[in-house]
């Protein structure tokens, strides 16, 4: 049974990977390629083809390993199967244009930051943040190493320990001041970083491509959901049946039945009130 399942998995991987195995390595040098949505889609398709080719090669290696014999056959088979799973994951990730656009945007951001010199505003702000973080850590270590604090934290672990540590630190003015200084310097670094990105044309183009890719995938997902919302699947539960009508209540055994006297027609001469079923007066006898 396991062998049949193994060959079914292999055939499925081959059937998926073969149609996409038509690619060439993409050009990833910053400065000589466009980052608009169409270009990102083209590179995503190229990455998809590369992933399909790698998955196809891994499937071939798995097939060869399944036919191997000897003491190391099982180890080769396990390694080939692990490789196929890895390439299948890469193939799945390459199918999303949003992932490709986000990857390119992250690479551009890292390249922009790497281009900053030591005396640039960003580098100076980054050094200031690191110094503020080191100062905060030094103050925190000094407070928590106090013998009285150590006794208070003895026996605690997990969430309780973290809550107690934070409570102790929040009572110290020097720790609060250092924490506020770190947050201020980190905000300044974020502003400097954002200004660098906004001034780069490739970053703007890549950010716009990522936004368009997200819109397209969200629209496709909404269409998929709206197209299947009215369908009844095989595992859907049928609608509940209507409740049966409640039975009429039985008359009580103590209820009084109408007697002959109660059913007697009233005399129209003596009765002060005539009912609608009585005869008109002109038909009455004298």
Domain membership flag for residue 63: yes
Confidence class for position 27, pLDDT limits 50, 70, 90: very low
Tell whether the model's pLDDT for residue 161 goes beyond 90. yes
Looking at residue 180, what is its pLDDT? 96
Domain identity same for 135 and 194: yes
Domain membership flag for residue 251: no
Angle at 217 between CA 211 and CA 221, to 5 degrees: 145
Domain membership flag for residue 156: yes
- Closest to 208 measured CA to CA, from 104, 93, 92, 116: 104
Angle at 174 between CA 171 and CA 178, to 5 degrees: 115
d(CA 148, CA 164): 13
d(CA 220, CA 47): 21
Domain identity same for 154 and 191: yes
The label of the residue with tokens 């703007």 reads 204
Can you read off the two tokens belonging to residue 247? 């039975």
Q: Give 117-135 pLDDT, tens digit per residue.
A: 999 999 999 999 999 999 9
Q: How many domains does the chain have?
A: 2
Domain identity same for 58 and 149: no
Q: Give 50-105 pLDDT, tens digit per residue.
A: 777 887 888 888 888 888 787 788 887 888 888 888 878 777 766 677 887 888 89
Domain range for 218: 118-223
């Amino acid at each position: 049974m396991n062998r049949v399942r193994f060959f079914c998995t292999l055939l499925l991987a081959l059937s998926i990977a073969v149609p996409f195995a038509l690619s060439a390595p993409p050009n990833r040098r910053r400065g000589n390629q466009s980052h608009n949505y169409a270009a990102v889609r083209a590179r995503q398709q190229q990455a998809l083809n590369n992933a399909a080719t790698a998955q196809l090669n891994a499937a071939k290696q798995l097939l060869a390993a399944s036919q191997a014999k000897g003491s190391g056959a099982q180890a080769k088979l396990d390694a080939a199967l692990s490789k196929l799973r890895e390439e299948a994951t890469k193939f799945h990730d390459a199918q999303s244009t949003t992932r490709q656009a986000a990857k390119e945007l992250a690479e551009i951001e890292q390249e922009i930051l790497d281009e900053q010199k030591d005396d640039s505003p960003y580098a100076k702000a980054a050094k200031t943040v690191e110094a503020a973080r080191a100062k905060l850590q030094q103050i925190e270590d000094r407070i928590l190493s106090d013998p009285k604090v150590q006794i208070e934290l003895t026996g605690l672990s997990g969430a309780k320990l973290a809550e107690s540590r934070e409570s102790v630190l929040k009572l110290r003015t020097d720790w609060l001041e250092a924490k506020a200084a770190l947050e201020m310097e980190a905000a300044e670094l974020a502003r400097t970083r954002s200004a660098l990105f906004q001034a780069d044309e490739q970053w703007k183009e890549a950010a716009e491509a990522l936004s368009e890719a997200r819109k397209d995938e969200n629209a496709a997902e909404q269409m998929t959901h709206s197209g299947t919302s009215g369908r009844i699947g095989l595992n859907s539960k049928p609608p509940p049946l209507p409740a049966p009508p409640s039975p009429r209540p039985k008359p009580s055994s103590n209820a009084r039945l109408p007697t002959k006297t109660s059913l007697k027609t009233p005399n129209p001469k003596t009765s002060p009130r005539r009912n609608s079923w009585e005869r008109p007066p002109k038909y009455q006898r004298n």
